[in-house]
Amino acid sequence: MEESFSIEKLQEKLKEKIKEVERLKHLLKDLKESSCEPDLLRPKTECCRLQNLGPVANLTKGDIERYSRQLILPEFGVKGQVKLQSTSVLIVGAGGLGCPAAVYLAAAGIGRLGVVDYDEVELSNLHRQILHTSDRVGLSKSLSIVRSCYRLNSNVEYVPYHLQLSSENALGIIKQYDIVLDATDNVATRYLLNDACVLAQKPLVSGSALRFEGQLTVYNNNGGPCYRCLFPQPPPPESVTNCSEGGVIGVVPGIIGSMQALEAIKIASGIGSSYNQRMLLFDALDGTFRSVKLRPRSPACIVCGNDPSITQLVDYVQFCGSAASDKDQELSVLDQQFRINVKEYQAMLSRREPHLLLDVRPEVEMDICQLPHSSLNIPFATFNRDISKATRQVLQGIKDLARENQDSQHQQENSKSIDGTFMQLSHEEGNHRKKPSENDKFIPIDTPAVVCVCRRGNDSQVVVKKLQEELKMQLSQGELDRNQPDIKFVDIKGGLHAWARHVDSQFPIY
Ligand SMILES: [Zn+2]
């Protein structure tokens, strides 16, 4: 048994290695190819001076053939095409919105396309970030996008930036483009882009997509409002959800990103945008598009108003209280004594230490994967909605567990007294037995701890903190027995992601 298990493990390991070799081969091929690509496809790591994009006087034979289907549109025509080819667009964010936006702008023949992203391609990006490919995992996203677009249309000038847009470099880059697309997923960058576009007097085509919903609007264009006119204050950081936290159906950013390209093309070609002072709301579940009128530009706006107080870029991370990153931030809510790492938890499991495993992920995520120990699932949202109810459920879980442990101990003793051997008692059997000392205010703890886990180790910390505070309150108000011994709550550092990284490489990461 032991041997076949290790053969299987080895086979899996081998499969993994073969996959890794394949990936490296692809990467090598990609790099070799890129050495034949023009210098312009090399990502820039800082703002640099670009040559002026000269006006295009007339279309070549190749242009006419390539763009013929849009040239015959009366609203667009040769005039529109020439303008488009004289226009530069900067896309900030090479993800779910940036990919479709880039591909349509490249296909339509925009003059210059800059793409900013500090990140590398990950496997979990590919369901929506459709210009990246499986063999480009680990490659710079901005490079990956322009490489795909280059194959579609090499007449466009591409400028990939592998860098994080910041207060230091944003203006220098943005000033060199005619239109900016906000294809990012975080509040700090939204304010940064807004202020930079107001200061540089560029239209900002802003898109967002989350779960089944998308939004689109154009700021700072034709006398319309800027982002700050509508949202002078950033939302509280804990109220902001991004795609890696909340999830998204890939088609939704696909639709919104395509519309960002469309609005950019309309602005560039002279047709003009339909979304100055308007916002498009797309609901994929209902299949509906709505367009709502927004407030006009605010004369009191601190950046685009009549007497602006922001005349240069500020510290947006500080202003928003959250990082300018689309990735989840690691919280540090709990004291170290209330945290264990995945190795420590693995040791607890192998010692068969009795504990209540409290998994606070949403129900839908419980179906994806679970730790190898039965758990009580109370979603994080429940703790926010009704802490006393959630606490009751946890306390009930501890009581049940204590009862099961006592039962199995009894059973062990009984079976030992019969024939001296150990007999396992199932949990179900244990539940039927009535126990002495039933006192609602007293939680028997021969179990050392409640171990709280979530996907990444943020929610679990918050829950432990909430539980600690709630119990303290219940004790002080006499809702719990005064002799109640401390219940030790801990959380697993880094959550399931850490478990997959450090303990079980076969454990799925999502
Ligand atoms: Zn404004």
Q: What is the pLDDT of residues 48-104, one digit of tens each?
A: 999 988 888 889 999 999 999 999 999 999 999 999 999 999 999 999 999 999 999
What spacing in Å lies between the alpha carbon of 260 and ligand 1's midpoint? 20
440 marked as part of a ligand binding site:
no
What spacing in Å lies between the alpha carbon of 227 and ligand 1's midpoint? 6
Token pair for 389: 């109810």
Residues in the chain: 510
Strand pairing class (449-453; 355-359)? parallel
128 marked as part of a ligand binding site:
yes
What spacing in Å lies between the alpha carbon of 302 and ligand 1's midpoint? 7
96 marked as part of a ligand binding site:
yes
> CA 89 to CA 80: how far, in whole Å?
15
270 marked as part of a ligand binding site:
no
- Catalytic site residue 243? yes
Amino acid at 239: S
> CA 190 to CA 170: how far, in whole Å?
12
What spacing in Å lies between the alpha carbon of 226 and ligand 1's midpoint? 4
User: With a cut of 70, which residues of the chain have pLDDT below it?
Assistant: 1-5, 34-36, 40, 326-328, 411-448
- Catalytic site residue 454? yes
Spatial neighbors of 116 by CB under 8 A, at least 6 apart, are 90, 91, 92, 93, 94, 142, 161, 163, 165, 173
What spacing in Å lies between the alpha carbon of 231 and ligand 1's midpoint? 9
47 marked as part of a ligand binding site:
no
459 marked as part of a ligand binding site:
no
229 marked as part of a ligand binding site:
yes
CATH architecture observed for domain 336-430+438-502? 3-Layer(aba) Sandwich (3.40)
What spacing in Å lies between the alpha carbon of 220 and ligand 1's midpoint? 8
Domain-by-domain residue ranges, the chain? 25-54+87-320, 336-430+438-502
318 and 247 in contact (C-beta within 8 Å)?
Answer: no
Token pair for 264: 């950019």
Counts of helices then strands in the chain (DSSP H, E): 19, 13
The per-residue DSSP string of 25-58 comes to HHHHHHHHHHHHS-GGGSPBSS--PPPP-PPP-S
What spacing in Å lies between the alpha carbon of 288 and ligand 1's midpoint? 29
458 marked as part of a ligand binding site:
no
185 marked as part of a ligand binding site:
yes
The active-site residue out of 47, 197, 243, 452 is 243
Instruction: Find the distance separating the first CA and the last CA of the chain, reported in whole Å.
Output: 31
183 and 91 in contact (C-beta within 8 Å)?
Answer: yes
CATH fold for domain 25-54+87-320? Rossmann fold (3.40.50)
What spacing in Å lies between the alpha carbon of 317 and ligand 1's midpoint? 19
192 and 228 in contact (C-beta within 8 Å)?
Answer: no
What spacing in Å lies between the alpha carbon of 448 and ligand 1's midpoint? 56
The per-residue DSSP string of 457-498 comes to SSHHHHHHHHHHHHHHHHHHTTSS-TTPPPPEEEEETTHHHH
The active-site residue out of 149, 320, 452, 454 is 454
What spacing in Å lies between the alpha carbon of 299 and ligand 1's midpoint? 8
The reported pLDDT for the residue numbered 232 is 95
What spacing in Å lies between the alpha carbon of 301 and ligand 1's midpoint? 5
99 marked as part of a ligand binding site:
no
431 marked as part of a ligand binding site:
no
126 marked as part of a ligand binding site:
yes
Longest dimension (CA), the chain: 99
What spacing in Å lies between the alpha carbon of 233 and ligand 1's midpoint? 12
State pTM to two decimals: 0.79
Q: Which of 110, 112, 134 is nearest to 121 (CA)?
A: 134
